Amino acid sequence: MAGWTINRLAKRQQAPRAMAAASRGAARGQLPIQADPLTLAEMLALKSAELSGRLAPLDDGERPRLTSPHLVASNTSQDMQLSRIVELEIIPRLMLMHSAQPLQDRPPLPPLTLTTEHVHTLARLAAEGDADSASSYVRALLDAGASQEQVFLDLLAPCARWMGEMWEEDRYDFSQVTIGLWRLQRVLHEQGSRFNQVARPDADSHRALLAAVPGAQHTFGVVMAAEFFSRAGWDVECEPKADWTDLRSRLTGNWFDMFGLSIATGDSIPHVASAILDMREASANRDLFVMVGGPMAGELANLAALCGADAMASEACSAVEAANAGVSSVRPA
């Protein structure tokens, strides 16, 4: 390596004499002697020096000093030489490097199992954190390998239930639960808009009216169910804050294949049974399929019978399956 450096320096020291010989040869009509081509590093250094010489102010009578005979050549010849270096040296080396180490697709992330700790963390962030804490946490879980299906079923729904339990145990007050559920609903809409399996309703799509028992304080489950029905191709109207009169009017003036009602407390069941009977009588669809769900569906196995409904479901996925089967059995071909 040391010998190579000395030889290169010796050649550089001979360059002025070579240039002088080239000038004398040109005067005699002889072919000029070709100087050794510059390396890429040397050429870039000289380009930088030349540019600095152009931009730096010169004293009166001072002319730019050429530190290398290669700068005598025109800019065009320098650019051509630089292009040749790129073409003949750099590109082949890059091709060899990539052929020796081919690019590989990034392996998929292993699936992430969502646990009770994830649910409790999200609940604390939603109820006690800032406005974006819950959304940021969910996005981080998705980036770590969780699927959107897991987020809906194994994170958001259990989180809403657990916040309700915290309220019943007086560990969260009403305002904390309200704010927390509102933030969960923001996450739900944010992720629902990104679902790549959402089917657009068409003329043959089933129509559903989803609601909560009027007066219910927290209606996150109804919104969750609406997202899943929409994803399955249903044409959904979600009215979580409507009263009985509004719901009756909606069923009278529009055709719905299914009416779904979320029930949160046991003391409302007698009133719900009476209201469902009234909804059937007022409905434009005489074969209206009625389903009940919500927190009470997880506590009472006979909730549908108690309310006079056709079916019940405690989770969004099972609700869609039951509604599809029930509507198909009563809808005329």
Are 146 and 310 in contact, with CB atoms under 8 Å apart?
A: no
What are the residues facing 116 on neighbouring strands?
none
> What pLDDT sits at residue 68?
40
> What pLDDT sits at residue 221?
86
> What pLDDT sits at residue 35?
53
Amino acid (1-letter code) at residue 121: T
Q: In what order do the strands lie in the sheet with 258-262?
A: 235-239, 207-212, 258-262, 289-293, 311-312
CATH 1.10.1240.10 fits 116-192, yes or no: yes
How many CA atoms lie within 13 Å of 260's alpha carbon, on the beta-carbon side?
Answer: 37
> What pLDDT sits at residue 197?
47
The structure tokens 């079923």 sit at 153
| Residues of the chain falling short of pLDDT 50 | 1-28, 31-34, 51-52, 54-74, 97-104, 106, 196-199, 333
> What pLDDT sits at residue 66?
38
**Integer Cα distance of 310 and 325 in angstroms:** 11
> What pLDDT sits at residue 49?
56
The 8-class DSSP code of residue 210 comes to E
**Integer Cα distance of 26 and 14 in angstroms:** 18
| Structural tokens at position 96 | 């060899």
**Integer Cα distance of 184 and 164 in angstroms:** 13
Name the residue ranges covered by the structural domains of the chain. Answer: 116-192, 207-330
**Integer Cα distance of 35 and 295 in angstroms:** 88
For 300, the 3-state DSSP assignment is coil
> What pLDDT sits at residue 152?
85
> What pLDDT sits at residue 82?
57
Torsion-angle region of 37 (φ positive above 0: left; ψ -120 to 50: alpha; else: beta)? beta
The structure tokens 């009017």 sit at 249
**Integer Cα distance of 82 and 185 in angstroms:** 60
Amino acid (1-letter code) at residue 160: A
Q: Which fold has domain 207-330?
A: Rossmann fold (3.40.50)
The gap from C-alpha 96 to its chain's centroid, in whole angstroms, comes to 36
Cβ-Cβ contacts under 8 Å for 278 (sequence gap 6 or more): 244, 248
- CB atoms under 10 Å from CB of 265, counted, come to 13
> What pLDDT sits at residue 41?
56
> What pLDDT sits at residue 148?
83
